[in-house]
């Protein structure tokens, strides 16, 4: 498989080069040249992942990467007659971001030459940072610099990033996520710095983080069919911020995933619904919400979606819908989901569930709807406990970080100052 840049001004490259670069030299995002059709049945998710990713990723080490990275369950739960939830939060950091980060860490380890060192710069609005920290902790030859917005992540999200130390450097940036993302892109786009520091990214702008998210869509469709006996094409609702997961879903659709269409469930940072309505993407100032990991005013992966659909707004609108969900509606969804089904959800999944209810009202009440559950509710216990009046049990993987020492570094929203921090850590 060869990968081209969305900007069209860089040579095509193989997977490993795209993985190690992160961004193409022209500043574009790497895209696969083609999407081989996939049809199979399998009872093991690691096998589903291996078959999905074969052709995109070199065979050497692929089986081992899948079996090591995806060593946790991916259950599909039925809530209502036509409402299902795919639980993606059983990885080490209790977030769907573990799928991409764990696979990517193993592939980078394979790609590094003996004695080579690489510096990974990643921006996070919440869960990406902890997943990348967990996935890359202790990997020889890799230094990770995580940029996260001060005061915009939950206490537990922060603790999952700032307590590793070693090769993991957590930078608390005085700004919002879009500031962090802009600085990361500026650093990665600086040709001189890239050469000097051997830089790459672990955000979903890196194709190596995005591709491993394709398999869970096939897993959802398979379980809907063989576990619940539903043969119709489902609607899949994707809580969306930077649109990496939804892009992976569109890639899976191009490979034969049976899906009616996707729904991008977004919070008040609603640039994409506006695009679908008027055909123009306008970046916006980030608005803090309860679903903080989706607080993205200018989603990077939208460039991939436009490229994937050939810039055709009709194709984009046929492939997906977008629904904006307010914080009040998010709280209502948390409450009603527990009240009606006895099921507890985090704010991001609640955004998806509210969007599912809205899409059902638009003539799809008899179509199976699958909502991606993106994080364990305990990661957002303050919100969930306040709304449900429950006391949540903290899983051991979260409880252990609460007693660890903070190793965070405070930094201004400045490329120059953050570069100094990166250089000082070499």
144 closest CA partner among 134, 154, 157:
134
Is 97 an annotated catalytic residue? yes
104 closest CA partner among 218, 16, 164:
16
| CA distances (Å), origin 417, targets 168, 171, 183, 345, 412 | 18, 11, 10, 39, 7
C-alpha count within 13 angstroms, C-beta hemisphere, residue 349: 31
Q: Which residues pair with 322 in a beta bridge?
A: 264
Owner of token pair 């199979």 = 40
- Within 10 angstroms of residue 271's Cβ, the number of other Cβ atoms is 19
Cα-Cα-Cα-Cα torsion 302, 308, 313, 315, nearest 10 degrees, comes to -130
Of 17, 78, 97, 185, which residue is the catalytic one?
Answer: 97
Q: Which residues pair with 323 in a beta bridge?
A: 265
Give the neighbor-by-neighbor strand order of the sheet with 235-239: 76-80, 83-87, 369-373, 235-239, 261-266, 320-324
73 closest CA partner among 50, 44, 106, 42:
44
139 closest CA partner among 166, 176, 99:
166
Crossing angle of helices 45-53/62-69, nearest 10°? 140
- Catalytic residue positions, numbered: 97
């Amino acid at each position: 498989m060869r990968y081209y840049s969305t900007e069209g001004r860089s040579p095509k490259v193989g997977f490993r080069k795209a993985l190690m670069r992160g961004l193409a030299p022209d500043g574009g995002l790497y895209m696969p040249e083609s999407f081989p059709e996939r049809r199979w049945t399998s009872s093991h998710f690691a096998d589903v992942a291996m078959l999905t990713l074969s052709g995109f990723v070199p065979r050497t080490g692929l089986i081992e990467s899948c079996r090591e990275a995806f060593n946790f369950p991916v259950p599909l739960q039925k809530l209502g007659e036509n409402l299902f939830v795919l639980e993606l939060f059983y990885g080490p950091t209790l977030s769907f971001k573990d799928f991409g980060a764990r696979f990517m860490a193993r592939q980078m380890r394979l790609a590094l030459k003996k004695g080579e060192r690489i510096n990974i710069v990643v921006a996070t609005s919440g869960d990406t940072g902890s997943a990348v920290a967990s996935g890359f902790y202790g990997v020889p030859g890799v230094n990770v610099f995580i940029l996260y917005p001060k005061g915009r992540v939950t206490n537990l999200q922060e603790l999952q990033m700032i307590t590793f130390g070693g090769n993991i450097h957590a930078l608390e940036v005085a700004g919002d996520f879009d500031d962090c993302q802009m600085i990361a892109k500026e650093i990665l786009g600086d040709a001189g710095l890239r050469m000097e520091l051997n830089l790459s990214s672990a955000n979903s702008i890196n194709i190596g983080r995005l591709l491993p998210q394709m398999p869970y869509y096939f897993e959802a469709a398979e379980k809907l069919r063989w576990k619940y006996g539903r043969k119709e094409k489902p609607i899949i609702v994707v809580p969306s911020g930077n649109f990496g997961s939804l892009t992976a879903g569109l890639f899976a659709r191009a490979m034969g995933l049976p899906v009616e269409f996707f729904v991008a469930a977004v919070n008040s940072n609603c640039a994409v619904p506006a695009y679908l309505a008027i055909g123009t993407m306008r970046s916006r100032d980030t608005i803090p919400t309860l679903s903080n990991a989706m607080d993205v005013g200018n989603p990077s992966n939208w460039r991939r979606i436009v490229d994937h659909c050939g810039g055709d707004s009709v194709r984009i609108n046929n492939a997906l819908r977008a629904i904006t969900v307010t914080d009040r509606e998010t709280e209502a969804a948390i409450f009603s989901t527990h009240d009606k089904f006895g099921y507890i959800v985090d704010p991001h999944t609640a955004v998806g569930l509210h969007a599912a209810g809205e899409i059902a009202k638009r003539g799809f009440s008899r179509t199976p709807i699958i909502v991606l559950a993106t994080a364990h509710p305990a990661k957002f216990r303050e919100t969930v406990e306040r709304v449900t009046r429950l006391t949540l049990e903290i899983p051991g993987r979260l409880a252990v970080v609460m007693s660890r020492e903070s190793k965070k570094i405070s930094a201004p929203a400045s490329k120059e100052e953050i570069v100094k921090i990166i250089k000082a850590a070499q």
